[in-house]
Amino acid sequence: MANSIVVGAQWGDEGKGKIVDYLTEGSDVVVRAAGGNNAGHTVISGGRKYILHLIPSGILWPGKLCVIGNGVVMDPLGLIEEIAKLRGQGVTIDPSNLLISETAHLVMPYHRALDRAREARRGDKKIGTTGRGIGPAYADKVERGGLRAVLLKQPEVLARELRDRIGMHNETLAAAGADLVPVDETIAQILDAAAILAPHVTNTAVRLHQEIRSGRNLLFEGAQGTYLDIDHGTYPFVTSSNTTAGGACTGSGVPPRLIDRVVAVAKAYTTRVGSGPFVTENEAISDMLHNMGREFGATTGRARRCGWLDMVLIRYAVMINGADELAITNLDGLDGLDRIQICTAYTLRGETLEYPPATAADMEECVPVYEEHEGWRQDLSAVTNYNDLPSKAKAYLDRVAELAGARISLVGIGPAREQTLVV
Ligand code: IMP
């Protein structure tokens, strides 16, 4: 029996969806505890491609319960669209396999409008958000002006509260010279969505504890990554939630003492979308991966920035997430290279750093210290057993584990569910 957390060790897009999907087999309940529909998980199963934003990827498995926890900010309009798309692909979704925490906060159309207006105001200092209203929704939550999912079951209260909030946020939008959110049309739209989603809304903390007491295994599906965490990431170029392991507990009501295992997921190289420091960024690697048709975002379609594997980031991520296991994905992305670099430390104004500095400005100034490895120059995509990997690929992975201070338990060599090697 084990309750496990899967977290990203980089800037998101580590391939967590695939690892979660793989681990779901031994789990009964899959929980999302932070973030919103800024996340995009791509899962390829049975030759079909599914893109998930808010719904845990456990939904693709029959008999698994999926929970959107209280730490999530949930966009009702986005969620009904996602449900409709998945149903169109033959996935069964009903209140027996998808539950929404009644204390999860709602992302409303005015949050999306505010997100765009704030980004426009930031000019060349923009964060490069997904434009999904995530930051403003969390800001409302913390400011104590948010609306929670329980209101989806109380349409009259919801309509009244919405009218008040739209009025208030329209004042800000007007001051910013942005388009206003139409009041009656928005209320009608949200009430329609509320009628569809209300049967899914419940006290999920109580339900999760019941599941645990019945001996069921929970899997917490992390969204984004450690360096997008509001506290531990490259602030202010971060998202607005705690994407690290602790967020799984506060975002679900499952206490730390009931967590048994933390798996950190990292690509065999590094990527990020949006603005912010990226010490190992490398144009040649970006071009190579984009030319292979890789590294375009699932949510926004944006080309991701790419670079060498940065062990300063992974070392710190292993530490603050309490990860004793690493899953390395996309190893096959490096198949064509003669020489591969691993960043083992940074230098900043003459000082060697083993962990990332606190400010984005200092991180921009950091210079990577690289060690060079020989590439394996071989297509890995058809390997079915870890022991059959070329020795140079295994040497690369061994060195990564050593530098991270964690063992590698899974290795991804392609997008399909079957292309995951157990170490
Ligand atoms: P927001 O979460 O939309 O506010 O965006 C804040 C930052 O997080 C931006 O740099 C986004 O590109 C990044 N971000 C948000 N969600 C994801 C994700 O799922 N994968 C990768 N980056 C993300």
> If you take atom 1 of ligand 1, which residue's CA is the nearest one?
129
pLDDT for position 259: 97
pLDDT of residue 21: 84
Burial label, 394 (beta-carbon count in 10 A; 0-12, 13-18, 19+): middle
pLDDT in tens, the chain (423 residues): 499 999 999 999 999 988 998 899 999 999 999 999 998 888 887 788 888 999 998 999 999 999 999 999 999 999 999 999 999 999 999 999 999 999 999 999 999 999 999 999 999 889 999 999 999 999 999 999 999 999 999 999 999 999 999 999 999 999 999 999 999 999 999 999 999 999 999 999 999 999 999 999 999 999 999 999 999 999 999 999 999 999 999 999 999 999 999 999 999 999 999 899 999 999 999 999 999 999 998 767 889 999 999 999 999 999 999 999 999 999 999 999 999 999 999 999 999 999 999 999 999 999 999 999 999 999 999 999 999 999 999 999 999 999 999 999 999 999 888 899 999
pLDDT for res 314: 98
Residue type, 113: A
pLDDT of residue 423: 93
CA 35 to ligand 1 center in whole angstroms: 9
Q: Closest ligand 1 atom, CA of 39?
A: 19
> Which atom belonging to ligand 1 lies closest to the Cα atom of 274?
10
pTM of the model: 0.95
What value does the CA radius of gyration of the chain take, rounded to a whole number of Å? 21
Ligand 1 pocket, 78 CB below 6 A?
Answer: no
Quick one: pLDDT at residue 172?
97
Closest ligand 1 atom to 228 CA? 8
Q: Please work out whether the CB of residue 211 comes within 6 Å of at least one atom of ligand 1.
A: no
For ligand 1, mutation pick of 43, 129, 221 (most atoms within 8 Å of CB): 129
What are the angstrom distances between the C-alpha of 140 and each of 73, 114, 146, 148, 265? 11, 11, 5, 11, 31
Report the C-alpha gap between 47 and 332 in whole angstroms: 19
Phi, psi dihedral angles at 314 (to 5 degrees): -70, -40
Ligand 1 centroid–CA 384 distance in Å is 33
Phi, then psi, of 343 in degrees rounded to 5: -85, 120
Residue nearest to atom 9 of ligand 1 (CA): 129
78 three-class SS: helix
Is 243's C-beta closer than 6 angstroms to any atom of ligand 1?
no
